[in-house]
């Protein structure tokens, strides 16, 4: 039996939850380091360099290409995962997925409320446009922390976190499309939807052709960019068109096959390059770190990520399981959702994107929001990891989800 090639091993490594989190964190720290180093001028010049055809209004900076172009690959992976979960995974049965789905809604609403309250109390009405910054959960980071520190806990915790994060991302995509567009233009939007529809039809054929799918995907992305809807939404729409059940006698559905192919590129290339430019906040020039950290938006984002997420996820799950027939999966109880609520506060990728969409790429509020995202996400990750290790050492009951049925043997993270 031949051993996997070095490229195959690298691809498999990049697709792992832990690897994705490590690469994302490393790229973000490198971007922050470069932005405050003696080479910050060169770093900023590269980020601001324009590339692309001006005639098509695609003369974007390198940083914009990372946010609008490369993130579309990440959102394609999200769309593929969402399609699989809706058709054959944790979202297939709404009754079973009800608690994490509602917890995701609460986990988006409470951070937004917390953000607005802090901004209003601080009398910073100009910062209210960033209310969506602390609402999204970073799937790659959250699952990486869980994989490292959640060993021995029931796998139902991972399923809950994954379901919550997927629904969270779906809601974040809706928020970006509805509230952070650049003035909706109907004809390009209709053209983009037509390109997605043609791709969806072709994807159900016996042998989809890459030479046809690639131009359709690029066309959908470019037209969405021209329509005023954020171009990354094209990735999600295309992902949702991929069949999530086997067709034409296949043994593995195309959504999973595509996910296996796209995830290494998403976690190994797209997300790290986006983080490299998005996290590069200059704390040296201008008024220095004090002028950035002292803005009300910093406190608003941190409170939203840490307190808002925790209260929203934990509170919603507790109320739903107490007041409705919905229950958590066998093997886990509400107490297990404390670290999940903290991990949901790791709002990295989408939060950085929304901060730029809210205030613009060069605003001082954007820099403050990015610093807050880094601080809040790091604190949420550390506290979540500590809670996971503590929880793994505690004795577990026979009916953790309190549905009146003994849990029996449950699979464990490991």
Say how many C-beta atoms besides its own lie within 10 A of residue 22's C-beta. 17
Q: Is-contact 44 361, C-beta < 8 A?
A: no
Where is 60: in which H helix or E strand?
strand 60-61
Q: Residue 103: what pLDDT?
A: 95
Give the tens place of pLDDT for each residue, 198-250. 999 999 998 888 899 999 999 999 998 888 777 888 998 999 999 988 888 88
Residues 6 or more apart whose CB falls under 8 angstroms from that of 362 comprise none
Residues 6 or more apart whose CB falls under 8 angstroms from that of 364 comprise 286, 291, 292, 295
User: Stretch 71-78: mean pLDDT, rounded?
Assistant: 88
The two three-digit tokens of residue 314, written as one number:
């934990």
User: Stretch 259-280: mean pLDDT, rounded?
Assistant: 89
The burial of 259, by beta-carbon neighbours within 10 Å (0-12 exposed, 13-18 middle, 19 or more buried), is given as buried
State pTM to two decimals: 0.82
């Amino acid at each position: 039996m031949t051993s996997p090639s070095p490229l195959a091993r690298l691809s498999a490594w990049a697709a792992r939850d832990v690897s994705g989190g490590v690469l994302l964190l490393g790229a973000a720290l490198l971007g922050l380091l470069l932005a405050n180093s003696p080479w910050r001028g060169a770093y900023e010049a590269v980020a601001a360099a324009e590339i692309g055809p001006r005639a098509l209004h695609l003369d974007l900076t390198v940083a914009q290409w990372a946010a609008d172009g490369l993130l579309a690959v990440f959102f394609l992976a999200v769309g593929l995962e969402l399609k699989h979960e809706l058709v054959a995974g944790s979202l297939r049965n709404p009754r079973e997925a009800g608690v994490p789905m509602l917890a995701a809604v609460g986990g988006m609403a409470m951070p937004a409320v917390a953000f607005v309250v802090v901004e209003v109390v601080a009398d910073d009405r100009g910062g209210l446009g960033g209310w969506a910054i602390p609402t999204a959960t970073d799937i790659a980071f959250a699952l990486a922390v869980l994989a490292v520190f959640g060993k021995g806990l029931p796998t139902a915790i991972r399923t809950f976190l994954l379901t919550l994060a997927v629904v969270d991302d779906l809601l974040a995509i809706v928020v970006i499309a509805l509230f952070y567009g650049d003035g909706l233009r109907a004809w390009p939007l209709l053209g983009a939807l037509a390109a997605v529809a043609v791709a969806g039809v072709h994807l159900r054929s016996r042998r989809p052709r890459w030479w046809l799918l690639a131009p359709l995907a690029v066309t959908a992305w470019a037209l969405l960019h021209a329509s005023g809807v954020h171009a990354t939404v094209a990735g999600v729409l295309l992902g949702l068109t991929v069949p999530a059940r086997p067709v034409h006698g296949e043994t593995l559905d195309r959504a999973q096959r595509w996910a296996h192919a796209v995830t290494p590129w998403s976690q190994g290339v797209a997300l790290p390059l986006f983080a490299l430019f998005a996290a590069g906040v200059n704390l040296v020039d201008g008024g220095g770190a004090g002028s950035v950290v002292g803005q009300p938006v910093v406190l608003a984002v941190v409170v939203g990520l840490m307190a808002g997420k925790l209260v929203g996820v934990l509170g919603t799950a507790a109320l739903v399981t107490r007041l409705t027939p919905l229950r958590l999966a066998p093997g886990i109880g509400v107490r297990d959702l404390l670290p999940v609520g903290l991990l949901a506060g790791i709002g990295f990728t989408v939060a950085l994107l929304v901060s730029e969409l809210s205030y613009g790429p060069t605003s001082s509020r954007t820099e403050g929001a990015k610093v807050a995202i880094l601080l809040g996400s790091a604190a949420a990750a550390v506290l979540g990891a500590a809670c996971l290790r503590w929880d793994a050492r505690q004795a577990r009951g026979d009916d953790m989800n309190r549905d009146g049925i003994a849990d029996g043997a449950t699979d464990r993270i490991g």
